[in-house]
Structures are given as C-alpha cells and as structure tokens.
C-alpha cells in the first residue's frame, strides 16, 4: 500500500511540473526601437553631423521714424514716400541662426532644407504708438523696411552664401541653394541616411535630434507622442528645445538593427507670451535688493518656451512639400531625396 502511494505522488509531481512550461507567443516588434545602444547607431549619428549645419542670417532694415505730423494709419501711409515723411532714419541689423540639413551637392548646386521661420523675415514692420482714444485705428510712428537678407554658413574654406529657393510657411519648410562651379566646389556632404516612414512611428519610439541650439553643436533624444496638434505638424517630441534648434534633423533606430532613418525636422517648441512689470533698464550700480525701488514701472512682454513640448514635421509633410514644388525644384536645379 505504501508503494502505491509513492508512485501516485511521483505521478502528480510530473503532471504538475508539465503545467509550468508554456510556449510564449512571439512578442510583436515595431518598425523602430524605443532605445538604442549600439556602436553602429552612435557612429551613424555622429557621421550625420557632417550634413547637419548651422545656418546664419543677417537681415538689414531701414527704420523710418516719422515726423509727428506724419503719423497716421497703415492705409494713410500706403504709397507715401517714407524718405519725405521721416524725421530721421535708423539702420537695424537683425542676426539670427538655425539648423539646416544638406540634401545635395552636385551639378553646381548645393541644396539644404531648414525650417521656414528660420530664414524668412517680413518685408515691412509697422511700429505703432499707444492709442489715445479707445477703439481708434492704430497710429504708425515708425516703419522698418527690409533692404537685404543674407543666409550663410561657415565652411572649411570660408563663408558659403545661400539663397532662399523654395518656401512653404504653412509647413514651416524651406529649401536653400548655393551656386558654385568646379573651381570652388564646397566641402559639404549630403545626408547619407535613408528617409523613414513617419506613419510607422509609434508612441514611445525614441528619436535623436541633431542641431545647434544657442549655437552649440548638440545631440539629444526624446520620445514620440502621436498627438494631433496641427495639420502641418506630424508629431510631438519631449526633447528639450532652444533657439537655434529649428530645422534640426530627427533620426530613429530601425528595430532590425540595420541602422538609422531620417524621420523629420524640428519645427518649434510650445511657448507662451508673458506680461510683467519691470523697472526697465537699470545699471548694476543702481541695483540694490535691500532698498525699496521707487522709480518708474513699465509693462513688459516676453516669450517663454515650455521645454519638453517640441513640434516636428514628419516625412509625410516633407515629401508633400517636395511634390507640390516639383516644378520649381527642377527649375532651380535642386537635389532632393525621393520620399513616397
């Protein structure tokens, strides 16, 4: 009887042990990785900086400060000679910078893509005085007229100048072109990374951003959120954003280990306008936190970036930008990648 009990116990143990081994269903793998840790990825990202450049802009405006008797509305000043109405004239230099990506460098043309707002500036800026009467049309006291705009980058052999060739303010995309001959071929390397498919990006996928925030060559990373924010903005990234990063390249890592793909361009960060009271300009010698300030107070306005909410233009919009401007791209002799 004892022997039978022993055999029954062994049988139960074997049967119970079998239930512990289950065949797991294969985990579904996305197109892109949510992390990266290979030397291949690191090398490809570092190599991509050969094609991601800092673009500079120098824009000059003539500002006509009008005589008090010449102050009027925009409609009243249209067609008038600002030289005759001006009390004096000031020359203003607006210098900005951003990031651009080299797409082609052949047949005497170098093509770069960047964010439109990085390289476009208004022709005319109207400066208004404070309205004395509520509801009155704004009164113009000065007018700034743009008379030159230069786009350039610093190459190994000197300054390389570019012209604005194609612009799409709605998508915040622009193409720049530099014309050269065989004697002065610029040492600029086109981006050697295949365009990816933005539609295959998923929540939590990791992207790497390359650019020049505040003029500093930097690489950062962030996670993708497929948040619908604008018809012309494809997705949101939680990467930190600073001025100068606009136009930066976005890359992601293929899950099959084949390397990286270009999936978009940094456009802008979410920001807000803040109003605050300020004493205006004071010198260091006047600043004393231990003494109550009793001078004039002014209402000031400033734009504040909300870090961690960065808008991106995906390859779907970049491809549509190329297709819609195909005729102009061909006429200018520009080189752009083929994007489905």
- The rounded distance, in Å, linking the Cα atoms of 312 and 64 is 38
Q: What is the pLDDT of residue 19?
A: 38
Specify the fold of 36-284+294-332. Thrombin, subunit H (2.40.10)
Residues 56, 58, 62, CA angle at the centre, nearest 5°? 165
Look at residue 15 in the predicted model and tell me its pLDDT.
34
Model pLDDT, residue 26: 45
**How buried is 189 (Cβ within 10 angstroms: 0-12 exposed, 13-18 middle, 19+ buried)?**
middle
Q: What is the pLDDT of residue 219?
A: 92
Task: Say what the pLDDT of residue 272 is.
Answer: 62
pLDDT at 183 (0 to 100): 76
Are residues 118 and 247 in contact, defined by beta-carbon separation less than 8 angstroms?
yes
- CA distance to 286, 288, 294, per residue, from 291 (Å): 10, 6, 9
DSSP 3-state assignment of 94?
strand
pLDDT on residue 36: 55
| DSSP H or E run through 150 | strand 139-155
Q: Quick one: tokens of 20?
A: 């512990």
Looking at residue 45, the DSSP 8-state letter turns out to be: H
Domain residue ranges of the chain, discontinuous segments joined by +: 36-284+294-332
In the chain, which stretches have pLDDT less than 50? 1-29
Please, which residues bridge with residue 264 across strands? 250, 314
The DSSP code sequence of 182-240 is GGG----PPP-S-B--GGG--TT-EEEEEE-GGG--EEEEEEEE----BTTB-EEE---
Whether the CB-CB separation of 99 and 211 falls below 8 Å is answered with: yes
- How open is the CA angle 221-225-230, to the nearest 5 degrees? 115
Helix/strand number for the chain, H first, E second: 7, 13
> Alpha carbon of 337 to those of 132, 208, 318, 319: distances in Å?
55, 20, 10, 9
pLDDT for the residue 297:
80
Bridge partners for 87 per DSSP: none
Instruction: Give the number of C-alpha atoms closer than 13 A to the C-alpha of residue 212, restricted to the C-beta side.
Output: 20
Per-residue pLDDT, 38: 72
pLDDT value at residue 13:
32
């Amino acid at each position: 009887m004892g022997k039978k009990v022993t055999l029954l116990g062994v049988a139960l143990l074997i049967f119970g042990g079998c239930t512990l081994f289950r065949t797991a269903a294969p985990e579904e793998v996305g197109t892109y990785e949510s992390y990266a840790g290979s030397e291949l990825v690191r090398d490809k990202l570092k190599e991509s900086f050969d094609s991601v450049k800092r673009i500079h802009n120098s824009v000059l405006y003539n500002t006509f400060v009008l005589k008090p008797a010449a102050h009027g509305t925009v409609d009243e000043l249209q067609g008038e000679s600002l030289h005759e109405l001006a009390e004096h004239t000031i020359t203003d230099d607006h210098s900005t910078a951003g990031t651009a990506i080299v797409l082609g460098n052949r047949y005497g043309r170098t093509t770069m893509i960047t964010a439109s707002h990085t390289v476009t500036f208004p022709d005319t800026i109207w400066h208004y005085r404070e309205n004395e009467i509520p509801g009155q049309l704004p009164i113009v006291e000065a007018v700034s007229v743009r008379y030159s705009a230069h786009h350039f980058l610093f190459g190994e052999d000197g300054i390389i100048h570019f012209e604005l060739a194609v612009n799409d303010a709605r998508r915040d995309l622009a193409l720049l072109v530099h014309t050269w001959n065989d004697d002065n071929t610029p040492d600029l390397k086109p981006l050697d990374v295949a365009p990816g498919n933005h539609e295959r990006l998923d929540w939590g996928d990791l992207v790497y951003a390359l650019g020049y925030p505040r003029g500093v060559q930097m690489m950062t990373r962030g996670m993708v959120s497929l948040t619908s924010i604008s018809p012309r903005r494809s997705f949101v990234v939680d990467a930190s954003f600073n001025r100068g990063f606009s136009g930066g390249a976005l890359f992601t890592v293929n899950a099959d280990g084949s390397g990286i793909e270009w999936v978009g361009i940094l456009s802008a960060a979410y920001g807000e306008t803040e109003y605050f009271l300020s004493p205006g300009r004071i010198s260091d010698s006047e600043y004393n936190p231990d003494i109550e300030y009793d001078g004039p107070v002014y209402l000031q306005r400033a734009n504040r970036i909300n870090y961690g909410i960065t808008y991106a233009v995906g390859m779907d919009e970049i491809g549509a930008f190329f297709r819609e401007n195909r005729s102009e791209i061909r006429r200018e002799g520009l080189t752009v990648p083929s994007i489905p």
